[in-house]
Amino acid sequence: MGNGLSFLATPEKGTVSALLVRPERARWLLAFGHGAGAGMRHRFMEEMSRALAEVGIATFRYQFPYMEAGSRRPDGRATLLATVRAALPAAGETAPDLPLLAGGKSMGGRMTSLAAAAAPLPGVRGLVFFGFPLHAAGQPSSERGAHLARVDLPLLFLQGERDRLAAPELMRPLCAALGARARLETVPDADHGFHVPKRSGRSDAEVIAGLAASVARFAADIVG
């Protein structure tokens, strides 16, 4: 799903792939990085991009170099951050008429916020996190979120209530401390991948549609 593109991630790592999905009545564009264990064609990335298109959000999904090379071991942080920074102008060039949001699933989102904490992201109006990975599974800590205080952008955190990488009792005070620029929406019964059990009374597709609606509300509030 999407139009195949590519851009230079870093001079050392070379070119990586990207996919642009632009609905007919797009109002915004999201530069959408993948999680650590699965690339831009992962089922969640595909389904989320489709749901976002239905609410007027175009997506520019992109690969990190290690995934492009077929490796399961993420690149070093410097390469990941450089890729985020390279992806943003590449995304903007595909749809220069659309306001730009940035973020991603798990690692993709966190690398985007780390890049924003280090230096401004030109043209980016807000950040969107699909399951911000606050800590390792079974090791509750807020340390990985400390850099968010240095991000001067509106932030949307979409988190599963059962996310083992982001304990709700840690996410709530973290977001509260960030003030009005941070918005936290917790999905009942959902895990880190936003899967919900049958007993929840909802399907995964309904959850993903809800996430897309949340992103659209956020975009409308901060951009219009």
- Tens digit of each residue's pLDDT (9 = 90 or more) over 46-67: 999 999 999 999 999 999 999 9
Residue that wins the pLDDT comparison between 134 and 1: 134
pTM: 0.96
Range of the domain at 49: 3-222
- Closest alpha carbon to 190 in 170, 156, 216, 164: 164
- Closest alpha carbon to 4 in 19, 14, 15: 19
- pLDDT bin (cut points 50, 70, 90) of residue 98 is very high
- Tens digit of each residue's pLDDT (9 = 90 or more) over 166-180: 999 999 999 999 999
**What percentage of residues in the chain have a pLDDT greater than 70?**
100
Provide the CATH number for the domain around residue 56. Answer: 3.40.50.1820
pLDDT at position 184: 98
Residue type, 43: R
Q: How far is residue 130's CA from residue 109's CA, in Å, rounded to a whole number?
A: 7
Q: Could you tell me if residue 74 is left (phi over 0), alpha (psi between -120 and 50 degrees) or otherwise beta?
A: beta
**What percentage of residues in the chain have a pLDDT greater than 90?**
95
- Closest alpha carbon to 187 in 51, 166, 151: 166
The alpha carbons of the chain give a radius of gyration, in whole angstroms, of 16
Q: How many CB atoms lie within 10 A of CB 105?
A: 30
State the residue for tokens 């064609």.
41
The answer to whether the beta carbons of residues 158 and 165 sit under 8 Å apart is: no
The chain-wide mean pLDDT, for the chain, equals 96
pLDDT at position 1: 62
Mean pLDDT of all residues in 212-220: 98
Count: domains in the chain: 1
Mean pLDDT of all residues in 143-155: 97
